[in-house]
Amino acid sequence: MGRFRTEKDSDYYKVVDDAINAYTWAAIVKLQERGVVGEVLGPVGQGKEAKIILARRGDAYAVLKVFYPVPVRFVKSRYGYILGDPRFRGLKISDQLHLVETWCRKEFGNLARAHAAGVRAPKPYGFYRNVLAMEFIGVGKTPAPQLVEVGLDGLDDPDHVLSEVLKSLERTYVVAGLVHGDLSPFNILYDGRDPWIIDWGSAVRRGHPKELEYLRRDVERVVEFFGGPAPPEELFKRLVERGAWRGPLDFDGEGWLLIGGRRLLD
């Protein structure tokens, strides 16, 4: 994995990227010491409140999502998702750093749940403080573009991509018991064949007071991008019905969830 960089190297990374301050750097070193990632290679993505950095992981790559310990707008935009989430009941958020770390832990937990449910989401590798390590989605060192950059016309097989998004959407809700909450073509990456759903910090567990509002919005954005496969309200209703199923879960050979022997779109 090459030598681990030490605190002294933080000057080097200040040059590479100001976002990696000493506090963040110490968290990255911790992840290296734990063997979660190896050498840090540099930024490959930029989000609203996070920076995405490519790192080595054995013979392959991983990304580090670095959440900035940030201004009040972060607190405001995130607070609603954490309040009302049963996992964060009783949590007292005393300072912004604490909130950013909570957010990072929440995204890790959501990713782990989604990934275990067979959702097309990056595999989470670990996290420490404000840094989350996960599977790199891309080819070689080039990150996969967002669906919004590719556009519907840029997809090799739009029907296939839509099917994969729908399978993941349903698995998220019915199998993982989550609602993504910020699903849109900005948070779906396209690797040239398949879609990958990223950015799970906003996801809520079922039972959250805004569960249905977020689910409806997620469905609407998917239908809006693909122009189908059904009116959003109908797809939403089916998902909610299927989510109420309490029997055993079954899947067919193509990975569709079967409920009473039927697919979402039968």
Ligand X SMILES: Nc1ncnc2c1ncn2[C@@H]1O[C@H](COP(=O)(O)OP(=O)(O)O)[C@@H](O)[C@H]1O
Q: Could you tell which of Mg ion, ligand X, none binds residue 158, using a CB distance below 5 to 8 A set by kind?
A: none
Placement of tokens 């972060």 in the chain: 74
If the CB atoms of residues 147 and 259 are measured against Mg ion, the closer one turns out to be 147
Active site residues: 182, 199
Residue type, 146: Q
Smallest distance, ligand X to C-beta of residue 137, A = 4
If the CB atoms of residues 145 and 177 are measured against ligand X, the closer one turns out to be 145
If the CB atoms of residues 102 and 184 are measured against Mg ion, the closer one turns out to be 184
Smallest distance, ligand X to C-beta of residue 225, A = 15
Which residues, 215 to 254, sit near Mg ion by CB under 5 A? none
Smallest distance, ligand X to C-beta of residue 69, A = 14
- Please give the Cα distance from 110 to 102 (Å, whole number): 12
CB < 8 Å & 24+ apart, contacts of 150-157: 150/190, 152/225, 152/226, 152/227, 154/190, 155/190, 156/192, 156/193, 157/193
Which residues, 43 to 72, sit near Mg ion by CB under 5 A? 47
Name the site residues for ligand X (rule: CB under 6 A): 45, 47-50, 52, 63, 65, 122, 134-138, 143-144, 146, 187, 198-199, 201
If the CB atoms of residues 135 and 170 are measured against ligand X, the closer one turns out to be 135
Verify binding: residue 199, Mg ion, rule CB under 5 A.
yes
List C-alpha distances in Å: 92 to 79, 98, 155: 11, 9, 45
Q: Which of 24, 32, 168, 187 touches Mg ion (CB under 5 A)?
A: 187
Give the total of residues touching Mg ion (CB under 5 A). Answer: 3
Rg (CA), the chain: 19
How many CB atoms are closer than 10 A to CB 92? 5
Q: Judge whether 99 and 91 are in contact, CB under 8 Å.
A: no
Residues near Mg ion (CB under 5 A) are 47, 187, 199
